[in-house]
Structure 1
Amino acid sequence: MKNTFIIILISLLITSCGNGSVDSVETLIAEGNLEAIKLKKQEITEKQKLLTAELRQLDSFIKIKDSNSKLALVTTIKTEEREFRHYLDLQGNVMTKQNVLIYPEMAGTLIKVYVKEGQNVKKGQLLATIDDGGMSSQLEQLKTQAALAKTTFERQKRLWEQKIGSEIQYLQAETNYQAVMNSVKQAESQLAKSSIRAPFSGIIDNVIQEQGTVVSPASGQAIFRIINLSDMYIEVDVPESYINGVTVGKEVNIYFPVLGDSITSTIRQTGNFINPTNRSFRVEIAVPNTKNTIKPNLTARVQINDYSNTNAILIPQSLISENAEGEQYVYVATEVDSDNMAVAKKQIIRTGLTQGDYVEVLAGITPEVQVVMEGARNVRENQKVKIIQ
């Protein structure tokens, strides 16, 4: 192809001289004018030198082009330090420690229910009343007896202090008063079981027994379910290999697939026991629930930030190859000149954690190094390459 191009060029140059030049030479020879012939020869010699110089320029250009056509074309990425945050992906369920069933503490008819399902209640609020079976009347009688016993005891005490009466009378009055007061407290305690109150502030999730139903502790039937949605958490099992990175206070991204919503929280507690079955430890993650849309047992995907590095060097995982010894390596562009010509060098590296499509390089590469991207699979050690943008 190169020789053909040169022949065509020479033909064009000869043609450009014109047929007149050939005729002139023949005419000069026919005339036999020696001086004119010498001048013509000198003229043709100068033209020959000019053509030779031009041919050399063309050869040099063709050689450069042929050399560039054999170069591998590559793209590169320049390494730089940037922040790297690794997340551990796990799945868990939303839980709450305040999700309880309320059972009756005494047998009787449920004479009054004061709340409805979905109603917010406060701790200690009266939820329902059970028929006490006359215990309130008995309590009033005991209180009357207690008042009389108290008066008798106080009178006997004053007399004894004045050395009037016997000591045994004073002690009997004191013992009787204390016995009656104990009976009052016991009756009050029993009567209090007829009033069902909220053990904590929350929401009545379910009214299980209707008003008028006969309830009993022996039946094992609950009356209400009450839930507190403000103090919930997610419990997940974390592999023991992450025990140093997963600690209290670490940031956690939480995603609820059903809700299509995400929140950010932190680890509030880590377990101190490694489960021998799955070699993991438990972690509690607080769940803010400002909108009250998050419910117990809701499935959640959590991402725990177990490692961070503000000065990490990251490269795409697809650029990394492995040799027969199991070493990881990449190709880097060295000796880059002004025409973006470079030499490809194999660089052994040591990698760390990955996140998405990128991996952190722990050793082997420093900032401001041009790592070969496109074309990395086609280059060889010490091969000349051309970097394209």
Structure 2
Amino acid sequence: MSGAGRKDEHIFFSLGRSPGRADFSDISFIHNCLPNIDFDDVNLGTNMLGRTFRSPLFINALTGGTELAKKINAALAAAARKLNLPMAVGSQMTALQDCRREKSFRIVRSINPHGFIMANIGSYADPQMAKRAVEMIRADALQIHLNAPQELAMTEGDRQFSGVLERIKRIAAASSKPVIVKEVGFGIAREEAEMLIRSGIRAVDVGGKGGTNFLAIESKRAGKRLSPGLSGWGINTAISIIETASVSERGIDILASGGLHNALDIAKALSLGASAIGMAAYPLHLLQKKGFNALLYRIAALEKELRAIMLMTGVSSLAELRKVPLVITGKTAEWMIRRGIDPNQYACRHIRG
């Protein structure tokens, strides 16, 4: 099957499943009964890749390369423009191999000429391919996606993964735009996060377990039953943020994605150290099943709910939200302890006067 046909199948099977939700149940805020701020004072502004954005939310990489993908990308670009949110396109590898596929990606820049748009390529791309992907949509940043488990699950998928880090280094060194490395639902551990941070990139998108399950989707595509032992493969989103934050350096942004479409979970992800929150399957489901206006309404509602949560913790900015205490218990705390990360460092944070 062509890469373009595969993209439409991914959309079909994704829409047949409810958007997954990340598990942040082990992580709790402490209510502040004396917040001493007004709701109108709460500011969702965030810094990412050296730019300031009005909201920490962005539309993450989804699709491209087909007529259906073109329609979806056009609608998402219109939503991103209306909501003033950054947006990433899906993998452009198919368009780099067949220029007839480019229009399904170019439509994003055409509809949102002044928006912050991220290009997207696979980890087997080279610097020249990266340059072409950026130029195709006049991108402001470049995502490189990692998806080894998904490739292994595809009959037509890649089987060669050597040299990925070196290619990332070469692309980061040659790129005129900031480079983001992202997982696609399997998470990032601190060892790999540290290597990526040293590679010259500007941001890590942890893409944790809890959102779209590409192993399940590829099994459906192949007409096979997913092995029960593999159905839960990966590092969940909360732990991926914690692991990456434990080795992050100044100037490196942590982006969180993977089942984040609940305001409380989003607030927890931001408090753990994420600068921005990517959503892909959730906007797709809203758009395709409830319509464009429903997508706009729900994103606005999420932002309002997030501001309310911030007020209830007594903070008016995301910088302050990263300083409020978080109580981490259960399997997440056990994981942290086994990995040498002290949960008490979060519980004992303090900003209250």
TM-score, normalised to structure 1, is 0.14
Higher strand share: 1
TM-score, normalised to structure 2, is 0.15
Higher helix share: 2
- Larger of the two Rg values belongs to structure: 1
